[in-house]
Chain A
Amino acid sequence: MTVMSTRAKLGVVAASAVLLASVAAGYAAIAAEPARTPPPAAVGDQAVTLAPGPRLLAITDRYVSSVATADPGGPRTVSGLECLRVYAAAGTGVCLKPVTAWSYQVVVLDAALRQKRTLSVPGLPNRARVSASGRMVSWTTFVGGDSYTASGFSTRTGILDTVSGATVTSLEEFAITRDGRGYRSPDVNYWGVTFTADDNHFYATMATGGRRYLVRGDMAARTVETMRTNVECPSLSPDGTRIAFKEAIDADPTRGWRLSVLDLASGRVTATAETTSVDDQAAWLDDATLAYTLRQSDGRPDVFSVPADGSGAPKLLIPGAESPSPLT
């Protein structure tokens, strides 16, 4: 290499810095999202309401919206409420709402989308659920990743009783019975809660030691016990007899998930007709139909539905939407 003077080297570094800075700035200018103007809050009979009715709740372009169950691809009512995940039942809603790019809140909503209660939560929103009665609310956030080269991930799952006000900020406080024996480990993570009709028991996913379990929890007793492995993101059917879940193909999440249904009485698992990998906590539209989000290669979401008994075929339900919830 020819010998360069320090001055010449500094010149090259300065020139490179300017060049690279313009590349970065140029890319940023192209990639920058146009400033999004939130849609005007719907008014009058156009307002999104969580009151039970023949409508489906979902998120379109980040805002809570509703469509008619009879015409889910048709006109939609869009609210001014921005959520990353939403769910509602019996007039109570839960919204995981962005505050800044780095912080999020759990917001409990009434039927008119008014904020009844907000809780700051650590991490990034992942799952949200409301019990059928509207009393219990649950959320899961993804915590950690302080450095992506540091090993592991973790989730925090919380539950709020909207009647008593009791709040569990992390299910990790609960005592665990695994395969009939007491168990404790620092690596326990929970996600994807679904409540039973008694508003005390719930199902969820617990991960520990590289395995993922379906657990049944008891709010009052503050306990969970494992039921079986490889059942993730459970969702209890309205009649309480079956659990829809994502089943890791060959128990290996890297190979994707099959949307499946577990019959609680017989323990039989039925794979649905949806063969695309589903990474979502499905919602039951009724006792026979599941709704879930799938993403296109560019990340754009669509809500699909499929019969829960393994028959039929998946069907595009709400294009360009995510986080479906029937308003029951």
Chain B
Amino acid sequence: MRVYLSTVSRPGADPPDAGPRRQRLALVSGNVVALGTVSLITDISAEMVAAVLPLYLVLGLQLSPVAFGVLDGVHTGATALLRVVGGFVADRFRRRKLVAGVGYALSAVAKLGLLLAGRSVPAIGAVVAVDRLGKGVRSAPRDALITLSTPPEALGRAFGVHRAMDSVGAFLGPLAAFAVLLVVGQSYDAVFVTSFCVAALAVVVLVLFVREQPTTGPTTGPTSDPTADPDEPRVSVREAFGLLRSRPARRLLLAATMLGLATIGDGFVYLVLQRREDLGLRWFPLLAVGTSLAYLLLAAPLGVLADRIGRLPVVVGGYVALGVTYLLLSGPVHGWPALALTLALYGTFYAATDGVLIALAGPVLPPRLRTTGIALVQTGQALAYLVSSVVFGLAWQAWGPQTAVRAAAVVVVGVLVVTVLLLAAPSRPHSRRVSP
């Protein structure tokens, strides 16, 4: 497997010398497949719980809506901070796999925590927080591992394949939960235990198959960092802050955060869609299914496309799709075709931006600080998203949904212009500088 990896890890500037057959086989590295498998299994586990938790809380425990609402929303700030701390720890000790593993394990344990929390709302809140913390902690080291085990020119397809595998898990989760409930009746705790077992299996796969791709090592590609051998000083807090002083990294972070401001949130998109098309409320959950389906189908192809034509054009294309989605939400077209087109475009937006943006970010961030950098990008986006959804809520209140959505489309255009100005210049020279 190591031979296989080093074959794909060759710098892109070199002509492939391993023969066309081998190149074709090596769509993505074994480590990416392993990480994708871990994500797939974990998402089955996570979505199993997500599918039954409302049933459990409302019907099993008879909690009121407000009690349920309180469980959510208060942990975002704390998890954002811990995500960056986790990213820094992963870089400092070069233990990205370990930190990711801790994140996956935390979420697994949280499933059992639901059994112990009983009817206590604060305890359930704490369990949900632990689960989210696990998710927050694991994403950046996982994405860093993907970038560090993939040659820069293949990052798009690596993330595409990873995100597609992730979505497959998300699709299977509710079905798995349904199957368990079908067998055991209304025993939600059996779903939680099953979900824990599934999550634990993902941790086993991670431990056995995911490898910490050393920044030193056989890789000679542009991702390798000559200063990162074991005798070199560890990443310091000072150096991490230095990341913010580096122009390309700062521009990237700024662009990612700006892009986060352009998204108003799934809840609002579906709500506007449901109201304007006067959909029966029973159809509401299917809107998310439609988007996920488009995401699932397009993530890998758009990742490959990003490697061919460049990541920035694909990300820009994704935000154009988002802008068109907003216009459709406020435009004159109605009916099922409009509905299908909206969901397809919204899924395209996710497929063209979610993984591709990290693929774009990876090479800009030094390998020594890649996890920290990715964590900063993800946190910046998450906080921006929080702001934009609040602002959109206020805009809706003041102007009504149609005008608010049109305003959001205008924001997308503005943000896109700024993003292109920020990213078009610096990211390319950087990758050229390290190319032979």
Contact = CB atoms under 8 A, between A and B. Distances in A.
Nearest to A149: B132
Nearest to A10: B208
B331 interface: no
Nearest to B189: A31
B181 interface: yes
B267 A156 contact: no
A60 B271 CA distance: 37
Contacts of A207: 66
A114 B204 CA distance: 55
Q: How large is the interface on A (under 10, 10 to 19, 20 to 34, 35 or more residues)?
A: 35 or more
From A35, A142, A144, A232, residue with most partner B Cβ within 10 Å? A142
Nearest to B211: A1
B49 A148 contact: yes
A264 interface: no
B10 interface: no
A143 B282 CA distance: 10
A131 interface: no
A299 interface: yes
Interface in A122-153: 122-126, 142-153
A295 B119 contact: yes
A103 B284 CA distance: 13
A186 B49 contact: no
Contacts of A297: 118-119
B417 interface: no
B67 A279 contact: yes
Interface in B190-214: 190, 193-194, 197-198, 200-201, 204-205, 208-209
Contact of A9 (B131, B183, B187, B208): B208
Interface stretch (B159-167, B234-242, B396-404): B396-404
Q: How large is the interface on B (under 10, 10 to 19, 20 to 34, 35 or more residues)?
A: 35 or more
A143 B284 contact: yes
B29 to A, nearest CB: 14
B65 A24 contact: no
A24 B118 CA distance: 19
Q: Interface majority SS on A: helix, strand, loop or mixed? A: mixed
A189 B135 CA distance: 30
Contacts of B178: 102
B128 interface: yes
B190 A299 contact: no
Interface string B48-79: 01100111011111111111111111000000
B229 interface: no
B65 A142 contact: yes
B50 A147 contact: yes
B122 A254 contact: yes
Given A120-B282, A145-B53, A184-B400, A212 B58 contact: no
A101 B288 contact: no
Given A145-B68, A170-B281, A254-B122, 12 more contacts: A12-B204, A101-B181, A103-B282, A124-B59, A125-B59, A148-B53, A148-B71, A184-B397, A185-B397, A186-B268, A233-B64, A248-B66
Interface of B: 1, 47, 49-50, 53-55, 57-73, 118-119, 121-122, 128, 131-132, 135, 178, 180-181, 183-187, 189-190, 193-194, 197-198, 200-201, 204-205, 208-209, 265-268, 271, 280-282, 284-285, 288, 389, 393, 396-397, 400-401
11 contacts: A12-B204, A13-B205, A33-B184, A33-B185, A103-B282, A146-B288, A148-B54, A149-B132, A152-B69, A155-B65, A186-B396
